[in-house]
Amino acid sequence: MPLSIRDLMPSELEFQMFVLDELADELSNKGEDVIKLTIGVAELPIPPNVLERMIDKLRDPDFIRRVYPEGLPELREAIAEFYNRRYMANVSFANVIVNTGSSPIFRNIFQLLAGPEFEIMIPRPYYALYLYCAKLAGAKVKFYDIDVHSKRVDMDSFRRNFSPERTSLVVVNSPGNPVGNVVTPDELREMYEIVDHNAYVLNDEIYNNTMFYDQFQTPLAGLPQHKEITIVTNSFSKGYRMYTKRVGFAILPEELQRNLRVMQQHTLLCTDPCYQDGMISALEDEESPEELNRLFRSRAEYTTQCLKGTGCEPVAAEGGFYAMLRCKDWIDANGFASSKELARDILEKVHVAVVPGTDFGVPNDLRLAFCNDRYNEGIDRLREYFTTETISQNTMLHNAVTESTKA
């Protein structure tokens, strides 16, 4: 008998976002009219200039044979130039590495910097990938809290959980998933001061093209004195709506870049060069990200306007791809164990697929992705669900009291 494998996929880590998305597809296949607000894949098409460039390269038999484990040199150069031009950073080609999206970059960085003797600090609510990568690396996870109501970093929890001796990596996600919070320059400065060069700080900037009310600022420019501990990850999946093309990148100190390059030589081999080349045109396109930002801002504001006062209270997003609903009082009043059961009930009754907060460390909340051209209709259905179910519960309570009085 072979030895038992290490259990890296316990049920509590299964990504409910994909579970609910698949359940929604099953309903659709049965002829039901389902609106999916699950996965952060923008419905807008790939920008035409990017698509044309990728197709041209696909026709070139020599180009499609180009293999660079650390990324196409032209793209790495273009990424460095973009950050220097747009954000006044001071980075070079040698600081950039490309992979198939940012998710495997997270996995590799966590493997490189973490282990059983180290701790990784991540925000809570968190994106599930952070927790899972830490588990894969065998690291202990510490949380610092984001106050969901104010959308500010809880600095007391940050100070309390950071250890100069044990913390090897701190993750910052801004704009955040699922809260939609934007970490302010003052907050980020204070976080770096607490870290005091005793750990690396990984800034997940994947939603930097969807800032609803402020201009994005990267620590590569705003905190140059901390460049030697700063890691930035990003991707073309979100702002440039190329989720399935899987091209992400990191900007990081050269010694880390060299280590990741070797890891990718053994595990990745290469990212499709045609897709990578298309991303050079994406970096030259300012209108497509702005179009997406305007659209998602309007959907965020519609969410707050329509769902306020329903009992599942919306958090007004400052940026990003998602709206978050705080549902603890509603869940308690209606007898659900957690948002996992609530999400399934919503899908069954009004055919809207949402993501339970169990994926993000907030078991009484829900997350909605702005990524559907019927998004506002989905919000209308949710309002109907919360209103109807509340009326139903009140009626049941009234009837129960009446019967008790008669007895």
Q: For 70-105, how does the pLDDT look when each residue is reduced to its tens digit (9 = 90+)?
A: 999 999 999 999 999 999 999 999 999 999 989 999
Whether 1 maps to a domain, the answer reads: no
What range defines the domain where residue 138 resides?
A: 48-283
Mark which of 283, 309, 329 sits at the end of a domain: 283
In this structure, the answer to whether residues 27 and 54 fall within a common structural domain is no
pLDDT of the chain, 407 residues: tens digit per residue: 444 445 555 566 789 999 999 999 999 999 999 999 999 999 999 999 999 999 999 999 999 999 999 999 999 999 999 999 999 999 999 999 999 989 999 999 999 998 888 999 999 999 999 999 998 888 999 999 999 999 999 999 999 999 999 999 999 999 999 999 999 999 999 999 999 999 999 999 999 999 999 999 999 999 999 999 999 999 998 988 888 889 999 999 999 999 999 999 998 888 999 999 999 999 999 899 999 999 999 999 999 999 999 999 999 999 999 999 999 999 999 999 999 999 999 999 999 999 999 999 999 999 999 999 999 999 999 999 998 865 445 444 434 444 444 44
pTM for the full predicted model: 0.91
CB 107 within 8 A of CB 96: no
In this structure, the answer to whether residues 213 and 297 fall within a common structural domain is no
Whether 271 maps to a domain, the answer reads: yes
**Residue tagged 């006044």 (tokens):** 88
Whether 4 maps to a domain, the answer reads: no
Q: Tell me the C-alpha distance between 123 and 220, whole Å.
A: 20
Dihedral-angle region of residue 313 (phi above 0 means left; psi in -120 to 50 means alpha; beta otherwise): beta
In this structure, the answer to whether residues 340 and 205 fall within a common structural domain is no
Whether 3 maps to a domain, the answer reads: no
In this structure, the answer to whether residues 258 and 318 fall within a common structural domain is no
Whether 42 maps to a domain, the answer reads: no
Whether 83 maps to a domain, the answer reads: yes
Mark which of 236, 251, 283 sits at the end of a domain: 283
Q: Tell me the C-alpha distance between 145 and 225, whole Å.
A: 26
Whether 43 maps to a domain, the answer reads: no
